[in-house]
Amino acid sequence: MQVLAGMLCLLGAFFFMAGSVGVIRFPDSLSRIHALTKADNLGLGFIVLALVITSQSVAVGLKLILIWVLALVASSSICFFLGRKLIRGG
């Protein structure tokens, strides 16, 4: 279990790195928004998964999953709002 959690953590860290690189390297604002959410949510998702399978209690695991779901909702709607503003504002 520990080894699996470690691997999931590393996978999550990789996606965070991918997100950061994307935010730096992508050419325009809209694609930067894209880089952020996809990579970020996968990254947080894998790290949360790693912590859930090593957590001692069910309550902690559920709270971690709640945090991840909230992060999903938050960042996807944030990107929707920013993207729409970018397109409308030209």
Partner 1 sequence: MENFYLGVACFLFLTMFVGLVRVFLGPQQEDRLVAVQLFGTTGVAILLLLAHAFDAPSVRNAALLFTLLAVLAVVAFVRTPESLDGEKE
Partner 2 sequence: MNLILLFDVFLIAALLLVSWRLLGASDLFQATVLFISFGLFLSLAWIRLGAPDIALAEAAVGAGLAGVLLFGTFKGLEPGADRENDSFTSEPCRLDPISPCPGKIHLLLAFTCVGSLTTLLVLAVLDLPATGDGLTPMVSQFLERSGVEHPVTAVLLNFRFYDTWLELGVLVAAVLGILCVRNRFDLRELKVLQAPDVMLRRLVMGLAPTMALVVVYLLWLGDHAPGGAFQAGVVLAAMLVLLWFSGHASITGLSRMLWLFCLIAGFAVMLLVAVVSALWPEMRPLEFPEEWSAMIILGVEVVATLSIGVALSSLAILSLGAVDDPGGS
Q: Would you tell me which residues interact with partner 2 (CB under 8 A)?
A: 70, 73, 77, 80-81
Binding of partner 1 at residue 49 (CB under 8 A)? no
Which of residues 4, 38, 49, 54 is near partner 1 by CB under 8 A?
Answer: 54
3-state secondary structure of 24: helix
Binding of partner 1 at residue 20 (CB under 8 A)? yes
CA distances from 31 to 14, 24, 79, 82, 86 (A): 19, 11, 11, 12, 11
Which of residues 4, 53, 62, 66 is near partner 1 by CB under 8 A?
Answer: 66
Q: How many CB atoms sit inside 10 A of residue 30's CB?
A: 13
Nearer to partner 2, 25 or 81 (CB): 81
Interacting residues of 17 by C-beta distance below 8 A, sequence separation 6+:
none
C-alpha to C-alpha distance for 20 and 12, rounded to whole angstroms? 13
- Quote the distance between the C-alpha of residue 61 and its chain's center: 17
Nearer to partner 2, 31 or 77 (CB): 77
Binding site for partner 1 (CB under 8 A): 2, 6, 9-10, 12-13, 16-17, 19-21, 23-24, 29, 32-33, 36, 40-41, 43-44, 47-48, 51, 54-55, 60, 63-64, 66-67, 70-71, 74-75, 77-79, 81-82, 84-86, 89
